A = this chain, B = another copy of it.
Amino acid sequence: MLDVEAALAVGGARVGLLPEPAAMSIAAACRSELYDVAAIARGSASDATPVIELVRQLRALVAPEVQPHVHPVATSQDIVDTATMLVARRALDAALGDARAVASALASLAVEHRDTLQVGRTLLQHGAVTTFGAVCASRLVAVDDAVAGVARVLRDRCAVQLGGSVGTLAAAGDSGPALVAEVARELRLAIPVVPWHTERGRVAELAAAAGILVGELAAVAQDIVLLSASEVGEVAVAHPGSSSVMGHKRNPASAVLAIACAHRVPGLVATALAGMPQELQRATGRWQAEWGTLTDLLRLVGGTARHTAATLDGLHVDRVRMRAHVDDLVSAGVDSSVGSAALFVDRALQQHADQDLGGSR
């Protein structure tokens, strides 16, 4: 929020709404260590927005002649929404880093096990023969697609919010659109066609894209849990969790935590979607419900990605065991041909390489 207030001051000065020295002074006061966060929390509870107390503190930090220039044009929601976009980008950039590590690990496994036969399991029953490389390749394509989806929303839909009290930018006189452009430039956010106080598609798209990434990552973690089950034992995590009373176990702790984080996400996406129909020019609860929903969601996306990456890190693949299961199935009369498995590995790796070079779906 302080980054937004600073950008607002700097941008405001550029379009002539306040003197540049005042803007510099305001921007200099926008350092989080100068603020009483507990007081802002208390203010949020009485005002239903954290901005009023934040602005009060910001004003108290600047010279009296600068105070009238603090927080120009904006309504509280402008600050919170724009800050939300900044926070979402920061959090999702980190999560994308871990998700890309998952993709890289899957790509490596796909290369290494391009021809490693494995039993394909449908409804957890042995079905027919495939390759572990093809299995990894399928997950790789899904993770790459989901990463591209999040990246697209971050690039195209993370926009500045600046509308003033009822979305007209009335307090900016003729400078409104220019001010929006300057703030957007300052914060590297997109310029929206119009303010979006009660049109929450942008937030919902962020939540949905993150939710889809989480779903694809959790599928990977779940596969590891299933393939490392005692009776299956085709893979084993490199860093098992401890057990308080069963020392012999090798718990796939990271995979379990990835699934746990992921389990909590769909409900939060639903909460974000259910919050979309916001009333007239400012919502009576659904907007305010977004704050904690998104915070939780971003944390959980990060947790899912980090734990899934940890699950694959150093994963031990037991080729002998994989082969024994295949041999059992083949000796039961099932054909061992793997059709286009290798081709699918190659295609997945090709798309992965293209995406790394900046391509997107």
- Is A48 located at the chain interface by the 8 A CB criterion? yes
At the interface, yes or no: A45 with Cβ under 8 Å from chain B?
Answer: yes
**Chain B residues whose CB sits within 8 angstroms of the CB of A204 once the complex forms:** 208, 211-212, 215
Judged by a CB distance under 8 angstroms, whether A356 is at the interface is: no
Shortest CB distance A278–B (Å): 6
Number of copies: 4
Instruction: List residues 321-356 of chain A with CB under 8 A from any CB of chain B.
Output: 325, 332-335, 337-341, 343-344, 347-348, 351
Contact A216–B276 (Cβ < 8 Å): yes
Q: For the complex formed, measure the closest distance between the CB of A287 and the CB atoms of chain B, giving whole angstroms.
A: 8
B248 touches A334 (CB 8 A): yes
Across the interface, A177 reaches (CB within 8 A) one of B137, B194, B195, B343, namely: B343
Interface size on A, residues (CB 8 A): 149
**Which of chain B's residues have a CB closer than 8 A to the CB of A335?**
170
A135-189 residues with Cβ-Cβ distance < 8 A to B are 135, 137-139, 141-142, 145-146, 149, 156, 164-173, 176-177
- With a cutoff of 8 Å between Cβ atoms, the chain B residues found around residue A71 in the complex are 244
Binary per-residue interface labels of chain A (187-220) against chain B in the complex, 1 for a CB within 8 Å, 0 otherwise: 0000011111111110011001101101110110
- A121 contacts partner chain B, Cβ-Cβ < 8 Å: yes
Q: How far is the CB of A15 from chain B (nearest CB, A)?
A: 13
The reply to whether B194 and A281 form a contact with Cβ atoms under 8 Å apart is no
Contact A121 B245 (CB under 8 A): no
Q: Are B251 and A123 in contact (CB under 8 A)?
A: yes
A264 CA / B259 CA spacing, docked (Å): 19
- Which residue in B230, B248, B267 is a CB contact (below 8 Å) of A121? B230
The answer, among B138, B212, B263, B292, for a CB contact under 8 Å with A167, is B138
Do the beta carbons of A256 and B285 come within 8 Å of each other?
yes
* Interface: A49 (CB within 8 A): yes
Q: Is the Cβ of B264 less than 8 Å from the Cβ of A195?
A: no
Q: In the bound complex, do residue A248 and residue B205 qualify as a contact, i.e. CB atoms below 8 Å apart?
A: no
Whether A120 lies near B211 (C-beta < 8 A) is: no
Contacting residues of chain A (270-301) with chain B, CB-CB under 8 angstroms: 270-271, 273-289, 292-293, 296, 300
Q: A171-B339, A215-B200 are in contact. Are A124 and B229 (CB under 8 A)?
A: yes
A7 at the interface (CB under 8 A from B): no
How close is A344's CB to chain B, nearest CB, in angstroms?
Answer: 4
Q: Are B122 and A48 in contact (CB under 8 A)?
A: no
30 contacts between A and B (CB under 8 A): A47-B241, A47-B253, A48-B254, A48-B260, A74-B244, A120-B168, A120-B280, A122-B280, A123-B282, A124-B229, A124-B230, A138-B199, A142-B201, A146-B201, A167-B344, A172-B339, A193-B347, A194-B348, A204-B215, A208-B208, A214-B273, A218-B276, A221-B277, A222-B285, A225-B284, A225-B285, A229-B232, A252-B284, A258-B285, A259-B286
With A122-B281, A225-B285, A262-B285 given, name 4 new contacts (CB 8 A).
A71-B244, A128-B170, A165-B246, A208-B211
